[in-house]
Copies of this chain bind each other. A is one copy, B any other.
């Protein structure tokens, strides 16, 4: 064969390979490797890591959102880094350090804007999701936290020092900011319900939480769950549970108690407490299996080698799993057939069948923390 023919053959051979190399993105995901500033891109269906990608900076407290086509992950690092990762090429396509110290971000419902909440210098920065060019800055009189997106190209966040929540409407040419004053002392985290209706902020400076109903004719904050919070006991902020640990489970919401070994059951309509379940340790995340039939709970150090499964009908613990040392996070596949559990100090992610509760696979990972599947792109309140 001549060189010419060989090249020609090479060209033709390359063409059919193309179709086989195509990859859908609906079953991909990202695992944060917190110690090394790297991530794994994983394929759920294959129970496998496709690639390790490095260069994300400080991922000791990282989170991410996905583009609406499920191709890109936007990763928010502790060091103010905002990094755009292409899941199809497994390469970083853009990275900026947009502030001194950031704690999380959100993507607008139309997928066109990325917002990042900052401690330093405070307030939020908003970027074009395509280019990461700056679009707007919304200053605040202190640390911005609890940043969430709401329907209608809106974002909400709260301010630690001033006890305010700010609603940022990006549907017009310039940001329109509404400030809710006095939501409570020292908001430290927040969530938005999965229907995009209610923004709930946790308070460090007082008991209870603050809820804003965005469907009301004139939204305004009201206090809920007055017994929920730090109470008389002094506690460092890092001991306060992440509100992302809340989970909707049918007609109920389940949430980790503050500094107690129990989860609380809340009526979804009234937002009043309806019961408690004693748990193995202090819960960190209480995550509902999609559909809400069971809730899986992991725990704070030193009881963090365990996961308990709680029946949402009876509120009873029905199973106890021992994935290994330092279980940091759990993520369910979109229709709830599997739960993926990161076990930091065993350097692995363990995959469970949610029906049999048996491990059915594992993936090696360096000090894994957060696990995020692309199905999040299609949901509100994440």
Q: Which residues of A contact B (CB under 8 A)?
A: 3-4, 7-8, 10-11, 14-15, 18-19, 21-27, 44-45, 66-71, 87-89, 109-111, 151-153, 171, 195-197, 215, 250-251, 268-269, 290-293, 313, 333-337, 355, 374-375, 377-380
A334's partner among B23, B71, B196, B377 (CB-CB below 8 A) is B377
Please name all residues of chain B whose beta carbon is closer than 8 Å to the beta carbon of A87 when the two chains form the complex.
24
Please name all residues of chain B whose beta carbon is closer than 8 Å to the beta carbon of A377 when the two chains form the complex.
26, 334
A250's partner among B67, B110, B197 (CB-CB below 8 A) is B197
Please name all residues of chain B whose beta carbon is closer than 8 Å to the beta carbon of A18 when the two chains form the complex.
18, 21
CB distance from A199 to the nearest CB of B (A): 13
**Complex alpha-carbon distance, A64 and B291, angstroms:** 22
A293's partner among B151, B291, B335 (CB-CB below 8 A) is B151
Determine whether the beta carbon of B335 is less than 8 Å from that of A68.
yes
Determine whether the beta carbon of A71 is less than 8 Å from that of B336.
no
**Complex alpha-carbon distance, A4 and B2, angstroms:** 11
Please name all residues of chain B whose beta carbon is closer than 8 Å to the beta carbon of A27 when the two chains form the complex.
68-70
Given A11-B11, A215-B313, A24–B69 Cβ distance below 8 Å?
A: yes
Given contacts A24-B67, A24-B69, A291-B380, 15 further A-B contacts (CB under 8 A): A3-B4, A7-B11, A19-B89, A22-B88, A24-B25, A26-B26, A26-B374, A44-B68, A45-B111, A109-B335, A110-B337, A151-B335, A171-B355, A196-B336, A215-B313
Determine whether the beta carbon of A26 is less than 8 Å from that of B313.
no
Please name all residues of chain B whose beta carbon is closer than 8 Å to the beta carbon of A45 when the two chains form the complex.
68-69, 111
Please name all residues of chain B whose beta carbon is closer than 8 Å to the beta carbon of A151 when the two chains form the complex.
291, 293, 335-337
**Complex alpha-carbon distance, A132 and B227, angstroms:** 56
Please name all residues of chain B whose beta carbon is closer than 8 Å to the beta carbon of A71 when the two chains form the complex.
22, 24, 26
Q: Can you give 30 contacting A-B residue pairs, CB < 8 Å?
A: A3-B4, A10-B11, A11-B11, A19-B88, A19-B89, A22-B22, A22-B88, A22-B89, A25-B25, A25-B26, A25-B69, A25-B70, A26-B26, A26-B66, A26-B68, A26-B70, A26-B374, A27-B68, A27-B70, A45-B69, A68-B334, A109-B337, A151-B293, A151-B336, A152-B355, A195-B250, A195-B292, A196-B291, A335-B380, A375-B378
Determine whether the beta carbon of B70 is less than 8 Å from that of A70.
yes
| Nearest B residue (CB) for A68 | B27
| Nearest B residue (CB) for A292 | B195
Please name all residues of chain B whose beta carbon is closer than 8 Å to the beta carbon of A15 when the two chains form the complex.
14
| Nearest B residue (CB) for A337 | B110
Given A45-B69, A70-B70, A215-B313, A334–B7 Cβ distance below 8 Å?
A: no
Please name all residues of chain B whose beta carbon is closer than 8 Å to the beta carbon of A69 when the two chains form the complex.
24-27, 44-45
